[in-house]
C-alpha cells in the first residue's frame, strides 16, 4: 500500500511539474548576417523572399518566434552599396509606415530615427500592441517587431524583446 501511495505522489509531482513549463523560454540568437543579437522567447523559424520596396529590390529574411497569439520577429535585408542616403531613408520610412498602416495608426516620429515605437490597436475585437524598430546598420536594413493581444503580450515581455536587440 505504501509503495502505491509513493508511486501516486511521484506521478502527481511529475504531472504538476510538467504543467509548470514556462511559456517563454528565452534564447539568444544572432541575426542579420551576425550584425545583431536578440533574445527570442521560443524556437524560431526563418524565411526568405525577394521583395520590392520603393523601387528597390531586396532579399528579405524574417526570423520569428510565436508565443500564444504574439509574434516576435526580426526582418533584415542586405542593402546594395550603390544606394544613397536618401534611398535608405525612404526604405526606413516605407517599412515603419507599413507597420503603422497595418494597425491603422499614424507613424510615430521616433520611428524614422531608428528608435523603438509603440502602436496600439484593436485586432479581432481585442486590444493589441505592436512595438517596432526600423534602422540601417552596417549596410543592412533591420526591422524588429513584436505584436499581439495585450491580454497575452505583456508590456514587460514586449519591451524585453526590443531591448535585447544589440547591434554588432
pLDDT in tens, 39-58: 999 999 999 999 999 999 99
pLDDT, position 123: 84
Sheet of strand 117-123, all strands in order from the earlier edge strand to the far edge: 45-53, 56-67, 70-78, 140-149, 126-137, 117-123
Q: Which residues of the chain have pLDDT under 50?
A: 2-21
Q: CA 121 to CA 28: how far, in whole Å?
A: 29
Within the chain, residue ranges assigned H as helices are 2-18, 85-103, 155-164
pTM as predicted: 0.84
Given this model, what pLDDT does residue 10 score? 40
Taking the C-alpha atoms of residue 128 and residue 103, their distance in angstroms, rounded to an integer, is: 9
pLDDT score recorded for residue 22: 56
Domains observed in the chain:
24-167 (3.40.1000)
How many CA atoms lie within 13 Å of 104's alpha carbon, on the beta-carbon side? 5
pLDDT (0 to 100) of residue 26:
96
* Burial annotation 99-138 (CB, 10 A radius, 16+ → b, else e): bbeebeeebbeebbeeebbbbeeebeeeebbbbbbbbbee
Amino acid at each position: 500500500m505504501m509503495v502505491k501511495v509513493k508511486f501516486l505522489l511521484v506521478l502527481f509531482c511529475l504531472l504538476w511539474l510538467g504543467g509548470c513549463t514556462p511559456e517563454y523560454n528565452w534564447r539568444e540568437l544572432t541575426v542579420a548576417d551576425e550584425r545583431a543579437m536578440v533574445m527570442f522567447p521560443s524556437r524560431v523559424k526563418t524565411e526568405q523572399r525577394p521583395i520590392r520596396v520603393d523601387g528597390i529590390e531586396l532579399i528579405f529574411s524574417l526570423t520569428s518566434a510565436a508565443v500564444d497569439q504574439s509574434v516576435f520577429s526580426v526582418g533584415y535585408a542586405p542593402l546594395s552599396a550603390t544606394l544613397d542616403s536618401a534611398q535608405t531613408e525612404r526604405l526606413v520610412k516605407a517599412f515603419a509606415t507599413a507597420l503603422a498602416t497595418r494597425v491603422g495608426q499614424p507613424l510615430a516620429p521616433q520611428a524614422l530615427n531608428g528608435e523603438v515605437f509603440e502602436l496600439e490597436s484593436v485586432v479581432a475585437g481585442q486590444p493589441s500592441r505592436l512595438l517596432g524598430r526600423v534602422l540601417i546598420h552596417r549596410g543592412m536594413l533591420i526591422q524588429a517587431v513584436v505584436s499581439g493581444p495585450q491580454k497575452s503580450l505583456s508590456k514587460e515581455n514586449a519591451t524585453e524583446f526590443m531591448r535585447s536587440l544589440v547591434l554588432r
